[in-house]
């Protein structure tokens, strides 16, 4: 999904999990480009997966927006990025099923994908992949937030 409007918001996200499944956390930074104002948030679950935490971070970030916005999403999660920009259309067309060995099987994390789909209908989202653990300051901070949030559940 790409934005036709000027980007107003940068959303940086990351998820982490100790074991997969295991205790995990998510972290995000929302930055309003016009004012420079930033908000950080994090949370987690006792028994989750890394992909769920990656998705939860994006959902939580978009939920915090008070009105429709043009958002550039920065994430190291190929799963989230490709799901949002490539796979979701066919999943929806197939009633939230995906092809696996020529069979349709349920999409993993369907509950979060449905939430993300609803939020993506409100906002204009541009996906930008950030290499994980590459020194990108906001990605590193989101990782710190996610790891700390997950540690609360160990």
Catalytically annotated residues: 14-15, 54, 76, 133, 143
The H or E element that residue 42 is part of is strand 38-48
The H or E element that residue 53 is part of is helix 50-63
CA angle 86, 88, 89 (to 5 degrees): 85
Rg (CA), the chain: 15
């Amino acid at each position: 999904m790409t934005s036709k409007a000027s980007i107003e918001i940068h959303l940086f996200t990351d998820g982490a999990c100790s074991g997969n499944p295991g205790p995990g956390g998510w972290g995000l930074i929302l930055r309003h480009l016009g004012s420079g104002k930033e908000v950080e948030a994090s949370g987690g679950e006792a028994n989750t997966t890394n992909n769920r935490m990656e998705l939860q971070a994006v959902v939580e970030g978009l939920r915090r927006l008070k009105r429709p916005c043009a958002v550039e999403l920065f994430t190291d999660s190929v799963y989230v990025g490709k799901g949002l920009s490539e796979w979701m259309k066919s999943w929806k067309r197939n009633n939230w099923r995906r092809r696996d060995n020529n069979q349709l099987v349920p999409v993993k994390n369907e509950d979060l994908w449905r939430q993300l789909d609803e939020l993506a209908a409100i906002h204009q989202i541009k996906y930008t992949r950030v290499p994980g653990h590459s020194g990108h300051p906001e990605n590193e901070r989101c990782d710190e937030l996610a790891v700390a949030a997950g540690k609360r559940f160990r």
